[in-house]
């Protein structure tokens, strides 16, 4: 598919970015993340659609809705990373390559954050690079799309 568009998905609690826990997640806001992602993609000729929700089903519906309309997905699933078979099934079900991003270094945190339901099916993983990780994920994902 030659659609030059990506879906950016941010999961539960990421709307709180920049308001609390700056020592873990930095001071940038969700709007900053969405702008950085859009600008990085635009420089490579791609548009970005962005969604954030605190509800698993809303995220799954958003992923289903871009089938045929986006070439790939950049996702920070938040805590659903460590719990959700359903989110994994949605991502594999739509058959688009996706990049998994984590702002913090999950491997330096509690052991329950070390496992990801997406790690073995993600085309790209960027962990612990702050919000710059979203830009890196966009560049790596687009490179894999090969257009």
Q: Is the CB of 21 or the CB of 39 nearer to ligand CA2?
A: 21
Helix axes 30-43, 132-145, angle to 10 degrees: 30
Which residues within the stretch 97-126 sit at the binding site for ligand CA2 (CB under 6 A)? 102-104, 106, 113
Three-state DSSP at 76 gives: strand
Asked if 143 contacts 79 with a C-beta cutoff of 8 angstroms, the reply is no
Is 25 part of the annotated catalytic residue set? yes
- Helices 56-65 and 85-94: crossing angle in degrees, nearest 10, is 0
Residue 72 is a binding residue for ligand CA2 (CB under 6 A): no
Would you count residue 16 as binding ligand CA2 (CB under 6 A)? yes
Size of interface with ligand CA2, in residues (CB under 6 A): 16
- Closest by CA to 46, choosing from 147, 126, 132, is 147
Site membership for ligand CA2, residue 17 (CB under 6 A): yes
| Among 38-46, 47-55, 62-70, 73-81, the segment contacting ligand CA2 (CB under 6 A) | 73-81
Please indicate whether residue 102 is annotated as part of the active site. Answer: yes
Percentage helix, strand, coil for the chain under 3-state DSSP, each rounded to 5: 45, 20, 35
Residue 20 and residue 116: Cα distance in Å, rounded?
24
Least distance between ligand CA2 and beta carbon 30 (Å): 9
CB of 143 to ligand CA2, least distance (A): 22
* Shortest reach from residue 105's CB to ligand CA2, in Å: 8
Q: Please identify which of the residues 25, 46, 117, 134 carries the catalytic annotation.
A: 25
d(CA 140, CA 66): 20
* Residues with catalytic roles: 25, 102
Residues near ligand CA2, by CB under 6 A: 13-14, 16-17, 20-21, 25, 76, 78-79, 81, 102-104, 106, 113
């Amino acid at each position: 598919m030659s659609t030059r568009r990506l879906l950016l998905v941010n999961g539960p609690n990421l709307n709180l970015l920049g308001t609390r826990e700056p020592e873990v997640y930095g001071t940038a806001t969700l709007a900053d993340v969405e702008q950085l992602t859009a600008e990085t993609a635009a420089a490579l000729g791609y548009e970005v659609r962005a969604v954030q929700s605190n509800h698993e089903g809303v995220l799954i519906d958003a992923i289903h809705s871009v089938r045929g309309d986006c070439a790939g997905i950049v996702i920070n699933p938040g805590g659903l990373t460590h719990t959700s078979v359903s989110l994994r099934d949605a991502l594999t079900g739509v058959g688009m390559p996706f990049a998994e991003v984590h702002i913090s270094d999950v491997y330096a945190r509690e052991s329950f954050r070390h496992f990801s339901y997406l790690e073995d099916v993600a085309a790209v993983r960027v962990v612990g690079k702050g919000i710059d990780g979203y830009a890196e994920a966009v560049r790596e994902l687009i490179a894999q799309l090969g257009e």
